[in-house]
Amino acid sequence: MKILLVAEEAAGVRTLKAVKESAHEVVAVLCSRANEREEGGSGVTAVARALGYTTLPAERVKDPNFAHDVASMGIDVLLNVHSLHIVKAEVIDALNVGAFNVHPGPLPEYAGMNAPSWAVLNGEKQHGVTLHWMTAGIDEGDIAYQERFDLSEQDTGLTVSAECVKLGLQLINVLLSQLHQDARRIPKIVQDRSKRRYFGPRAPFEGKVQWTMNSEQLDRFVRACDYFPLTSPLGYPAAKLNGRTIALMKVSRTHTNADAEPGTITERAGNIWLATRDEWLAVHKVQIDGKPVNAGTVLPVGEKLV
């Protein structure tokens, strides 16, 4: 099979290597211009060029005229991994077999952006990753393969995303194997549209701490945004201290009833504690001016976040 890979990030690099080791042919690799500036030669563009593959701007998939190139090259499959560009219907229709997308969430329940973070925020007990056929609609195509996994009360946006990458690569290998054996037998499971939920790119609660939250809810909010040491796609839950923005990066529950107004700062057992409407939260790391800082160095006892 002739494969056109549209890929970003580490997951894209791992997918590129997996396709290279398979029985299929990589015709070209499409990635964003940002990849071209990545240092260390570890990005998708650098790896693709090192392997001798043609690289093209990922934006080409949004151009309906690109369908002519796809048809002329005899492309069988387009495989989309972590690229956010919407592939035009004309491009999909020009493929001999079809287009597939790896989505870091179970469909149809978690369509859209930042699904791992929303799962943590919503207190889900399970999450999943889906490899689905692509259509003109976002995350609407039939499901080819899906895997689910359990979540814990310690999971963060980063840990859930990492698990999605690992399982997503396994699903890609299943797809590559089936493409080699008989593409006609790749499953097409129609999504139940009544269960569909779509999540947009905006941060929950506009990225602000909500003092109506209890300790469990605020803990989930912080963990949902926690991609440290990587950049959080949602930012961090923010509050104000004497007019200065303080964002919560790392917290943990104390299961100790709070005897102060929400937002009040105190110190106990050598840690900075923050009052919520029901319990104290231990605050370990905050962000100020875009930089991570130990909470004890900037949160004064007796003050109050608002």
Over residues 26-63, the pLDDT tens digits come to 999 999 865 555 545 668 999 999 999 999 999 999 99
Structure token digits, residue 24 = 């299929």
| Structure confidence at residue 141 (pLDDT) | 97
- Domains along the chain? 2-199 (3.40.50.170), 206-297 (3.10.25.10)
Burial of 41 (0-12, 13-18, 19+ CB in 10 A): exposed
- Give CA 188 to chain center in angstroms: 24
Q: pTM of the entire structure?
A: 0.93
Write the pLDDT tens digit of every residue in 252-277: 999 999 999 999 999 998 899 999 99
| Structure confidence at residue 39 (pLDDT) | 46
Question: Which residues of the chain fall short of a pLDDT of 50?
Answer: 39
Residues in CB range of 221: below 8 A, 6 or more apart: 121, 204, 205, 209, 210, 213, 237
Structure token digits, residue 159 = 């840990």
Structure token digits, residue 125 = 């007990």
One-character DSSP codes across 204-265: GGGGB--TTS-HHHHHHHHHHH--TTSPPTT---EEEETTEEEEEEEEEEEEEE--S-TTBE
Q: How far apart are the first and last CA of the chain?
A: 58
Angle at 148 between CA 142 and CA 149, to 5 degrees: 165
| Structure confidence at residue 36 (pLDDT) | 52
